[in-house]
Amino acid sequence: MSTAATRRSEWKISPVFLGIVAVMAVTGWAVWTDFAASAGLAVFLFTTSAWIVSLCLHEYAHARTAHHSGDITVGAKGYLTLDPLKYTHPLLSIVLPVVFVIMGGIGLPGGAVFIERGRVRGRWKHSLISAAGPLTNVLFAIVCTAPFWLDALDGVPGVFRFALAFLALLQVTAAILNFLPVPGLDGYGVLEPWLSYKVRRQVEPFAPFGLIFVFVLLFFVPEVYNAFFDAVYALLDALGIGQNDAYCGYQYFRFWEDPNPLCEQLVG
């Protein structure tokens, strides 16, 4: 294969990603039209596939920014194809985030793609590479919430509105968690280039445990959990999404449970 053909293949969108997008589109249509026999199952498939798409875009944003900042090896690693199977940690990038969505409705930050930082020159570029992923979640949240803050919900089916609100909640939680200045998360990656070599060396051993520490606090310290979701719902409210919309989206997402009477009443 010629060099030019190799380069084109590095940028070719993966059929795996296109398949996930197709699932998102079909199940989104099923939710909108109430075509599915089970509205909850349709919401589950739509939200899960959309969430995986956002995870792929998150990792792609890291890789694309790194590519333009000097690390041209990301193409050969397959990171520019949006293929979730090419990530360094597919378990951390895809499987665990989906599991945490099911368990607690929280957007778990995915495992970052492997960037050869030695090829990147300039602290601002290093910071931007780390920020690119969570900024993608922010952009995704803006898109999901646009119908709400633009007051464009006339004619939007209630269940689809709930699904969109829940998807927005996932993007907001992912953005907040990713931007925390905790070793191992993107927020620390933004700050790291500006720290002294001594501080970076002292912090480095804790990086593999940063995410675990955050989720231990979230799930086992009620005050932290409540403060976190207070911030999440405050942001959603500012974007026009009521707490009931996001809550009902999560209830429909958990299709294996009995329907929530409040949500069925709100659907009308």
Catalytic residues, by residue number, are 59
Query: What does the alpha-carbon distance between residue 190 and residue 88 come to, in Å, rounded to a whole number?
Result: 20
Tell me phi and psi for residue 107, to 5 degrees: -80, 95
Do the beta carbons of residue 71 and residue 120 sit within 8 Å?
yes
Residue 170, judged by CB atoms within 10 A of its CB (0-12, 13-18, 19+), counts as: buried
CA torsion, ordered 160, 256, 239, 156, to nearest 10 deg: 10
Q: Could you tell me the two tokens for 33?
A: 């039209």
State which H helix or E strand residue 155 sits in.
none
